[in-house]
Structure 1
Amino acid sequence: MATTSATGPPSAPTPAADRKLTPDLARGFMLLLIAMAYAGTYLTADDIGGYGQPFGGSALDRTVSTASALFLENRAFPLFGVLFGIGLVMMTDAARAKGRPDSQTRSTVRRRSLWLLAFGFVHATLVFSGEILAAYGVAGLLLGWLLFRPDKARKRATWIVAAYYLVVVGIGSVVVGLAMNADGESSPDWDSSVGYATAEDWITRVAGGFTAPLINVLVFPMLILVLLGLWMGRRGYLQDPDAHVPALKRLAAIGIAVSVAGALPLALSGAGLVTVSDGTAMAFFGLQILTGVAAGVGYASLFALIGRRLQRDPGVLTKALAAAGQRSLSVYLFASVGVAVLLHPDLVGLGDHLHRAGGMAVALVVWAAGVALAAWLARLGKRGPADALLRRLVYGRR
């Protein structure tokens, strides 16, 4: 049973009328980017491309692959990471505004992170091993204590974590690339789709449920993204964008420019416009990963600027996207499962017959269906089922 206070029960959600549009709008659109990123893993053609692999298919497929390399690959999950950090700050601030002690909120963050680990394990085992829920559970456990520390502690942690990823991802990719060039090795296959048909498939799936969050946290810059989200949340960039317009414009312009510049070498290589060795492509891949951090900040800032304008007179589509953002866990799982069911070779199997553009179209349709369902639930005044379950598990019954 959740503990009540003079200001109300801990499980009382923020009324819909009092919610900030910008974070929900960003989450709603971000779910499309995640669905599109997942779709590529289920396409079985040899020339799908992505992450430095050669782009093939029709002119439309190659165009979509190029756009994906510049704006989507290793750029969708950074936005999710930044928004996760901002969400932690908003949750903490709301608890303090209701008069709850930090010790209680700290326990809430810990329980929520543990349940995200559990949700992620089930999702990774049954659907997609590269999922991100469990990674954010790990991030919440490792970084949640910083929510209750002074800014100086968060800054110190940010510099330490940034140095770690610079060594592991930046320098590490260069060292691996040089070794590949010296040994004449080819680049690894990035296909992360696992089947359902054999016992070996299921063993791999269960193992992935344990290893995927560790890889996502230790090899990809997940922790720095959450720390940057804490920084943006403490400054109120998404909660009160009207007060930070000049800063948001700078962050959006610089973040997106750095992101595109960092992704350009790998995109040119995949498009066949430059010819590089597999080892050099590996170094380009490291650069793409690191500069994806800038995309997380840049995209979040861009949505803050868009949201401040739409907040004044939101239309039907804006309200639907916000409804999806308010039910982001449910829509995320709906989109991931829907994309997998339609594209996975062991299920409906459309991935055997579609190329890059077709896979993206399937992701768009599934995401749109999820947004429509979220809008319907909003009209009924109901939460998403997965969001409601997580809230019940974290807070207990009211």
Structure 2
Amino acid sequence: MLLLIALAHAPLFLYVSEPGMISRPESVGILDILLNSIGEIFIDNRSRPLFAVLFGYGLVFMFDKQLSKGKSKIEARKVMKRRSFFLILFGFILAVFIGGQDILMAYGSAGLLVGWLLLRDNKTLMTATTIVTTVFILYIPFLWGFLLEDNGSYGFSSEFSRNDYYLQSFMEALVYFPYIPIFIHLLFPILPSVLIGIWFGRIHLLTNSHQQNKLKMIAIIGILISILGALPFVFVGELWGPSLFLAGVLYGIQVITGTVGGIGYAALFGVLGNRIKEPGWVTNSINALGRRSLTFFVFNEILLVILLSPVSLGLGGILNNTGVTFVAISIWILSVVTASILEKYKISGPLETLMRVLVYK
């Protein structure tokens, strides 16, 4: 999950590259075309819903843990609310003071929006999921069509420039940060993924070894739909030049099917996890990273800012798409190694520890 997010966010820092498709840089060679295509098919708008599914799954486990400690449902719900508020606070610090590409505010607000369903039965949960998902499916392709038409080109310019300096970026982020989660929720269907993650958590789908056949089916169907939904958009700008509105609609379809893809990825990882009976050092290291995912999401974003942002080392003005892909993979490997060292010495992730102090007092 953290690798996919790093790969999705790294190209956003390429501030001297010409815009390609939506937020991706223009391809300047065969390798760039390949990386952009792989990103559009397997990464873009797929890592975010994967994160959302796991977020919803985790809400159920934390809620049930509070009930097992003797708390009432109302008390447990208050704990979930506190955690959501602090996620928003962490996201605010990341977006405004650090300048990273934040998604924590979006998930914190998602927790506030759907957390009440933790108190309801499965029928209510599925009804809400159906209604919310239907609404997103109906409007997102057309919204992106109008956005791209209004933009006047296939791609959006980078939010960074060579002349950026920290105080300017800080003041702009301070003004615009309230709109970040609003725009994310409006343009991308996070809520359906969170709701499906809650349902997965209630039936313990990802960790129940007796549901392997169901997981396999979800993984195959979800990833296949994701690939098929992304393919038409991959050809835009390279082999095909449709109208801006149609290109936006195709991107909207890529976004929607990416939600299904994120669900498929979660199921695939559930299948793989249940198959590993004797984990080796690689698996244990990735597990260690997963147990510290909040810390290392922020850590990865900090390193991306330090290395690529124009207010720091500014490599985003020098490297191409291939270069920042290498940077993202290297940062993730460093995270895996660091997390495994922390695990060896029984040290929790600093942000996980802080979150527990804040939420559970």
8 Å Cα contact 1:52/1:269 also seen in 2: no
CA distance in 2, matches of 1:352, 1:81: 31
Partner SS state of residue 348, structure 2:
coil
CA distance in 2, matches of 1:349, 1:33: 22
CA distance in 2, matches of 1:142, 1:260: 30
8 Å Cα contact 2:18/2:157 also seen in 1: no
Question: Which deviates the most, 254-263 or 43-52?
Answer: 43-52
Residue 211 of structure 1: aligned partner = 179
Q: How does 1:251-330 map to 2 (within 5 A)?
A: 251-270=218-237, 272-310=238-276, 312-330=277-295
Query: Residue 192 of structure 1: CA displacement?
Result: 3.9
Distance 1:343 1:86, change over 3 A: same
Query: Residue 333 of structure 1: CA displacement?
Result: 0.4
List per-residue Cα deviations over 1:260-286 (Å, max 9, x = no partner): 11111111114x122222222111111
List per-residue Cα deviations over 1:189-217 (Å, max 9, x = no partner): 15344775165433321123211011112
Q: 2:212 aligns with which of 245, 262, 279?
A: 245
CA distance in 1, matches of 2:193, 2:282: 28
Distance 1:52 1:116, change over 3 A: closer
CA distance in 2, matches of 1:332, 1:176: 29
Residue 349 of structure 1: aligned partner = 314
8 Å Cα contact 1:119/1:133 also seen in 2: yes
CA distance in 2, matches of 1:307, 1:351: 36
Residue 153 of structure 1: aligned partner = 124
CA distance in 1, matches of 2:89, 2:151: 41
Residue 339 of structure 1: aligned partner = 304
Q: 2:10 aligns with which of 39, 44, 49?
A: 39
Query: Residue 57 of structure 1: CA displacement?
Result: 2.3
Distance 1:157 1:380, change over 3 A: same
Query: Residue 129 of structure 1: CA displacement?
Result: 6.0
Bigger relative contact order, structure 1 or 2, given CA contacts below 8 A and separation 6+?
Answer: 1
Partner SS state of residue 44, structure 1:
coil
Q: CA RMSD in A?
A: 2.0
CA distance in 2, matches of 1:198, 1:95: 42
8 Å Cα contact 1:122/1:209 also seen in 2: no
8 Å Cα contact 2:233/2:247 also seen in 1: yes
Q: How does 1:363-378 map to 2 (within 5 A)?
A: 363-378=328-343
CA distance in 1, matches of 2:96, 2:359: 22
Return 5+ residue gaps in structure 2 as ranges: none
Q: How does 1:13-162 map to 2 (within 5 A)?
A: 30-47=1-18, 49-51=20-22, 55-128=26-99, 130-162=101-133
Equivalenced residue count is 360
Return 5+ residue gaps in structure 1 as ranges: 1-29
Partner SS state of residue 347, structure 1:
coil
Query: Residue 93 of structure 1: CA displacement?
Result: 2.1
TM-score normalised per structure 2: 0.94
CA distance in 2, matches of 1:52, 1:279: 16
List per-residue Cα deviations over 1:8-66 (Å, max 9, x = no partner): xxxxxxxxxxxxxxxxxxxxxx0011111110111134346354767412322221111
Partner SS state of residue 346, structure 1:
coil
8 Å Cα contact 1:88/1:230 also seen in 2: yes
Query: Residue 238 of structure 1: CA displacement?
Result: 1.2
CA distance in 2, matches of 1:200, 1:282: 31
Identity of aligned residues (%): 36
Distance 1:127 1:282, change over 3 A: farther
CA distance in 1, matches of 2:214, 2:192: 20
Distance 1:113 1:196, change over 3 A: farther
- In structure 1, what residue type is equivalent to 2:318? H
Residue 200 of structure 2: aligned partner = 232
Distance 1:173 1:184, change over 3 A: closer
- In structure 1, what residue type is equivalent to 2:348? R
CA distance in 1, matches of 2:151, 2:168: 31
Distance 1:210 1:364, change over 3 A: same
CA distance in 1, matches of 2:270, 2:157: 33
CA distance in 1, matches of 2:99, 2:217: 36
Query: Residue 127 of structure 1: CA displacement?
Result: 3.3
- In structure 2, what residue type is equivalent to 1:250? M
List per-residue Cα deviations over 1:196-253 (Å, max 9, x = no partner): 516543332112321101111222111111001111111211121x111111111101
Residue 143 of structure 2: aligned partner = 172
CA distance in 2, matches of 1:127, 1:255: 35
Distance 1:185 1:112, change over 3 A: same
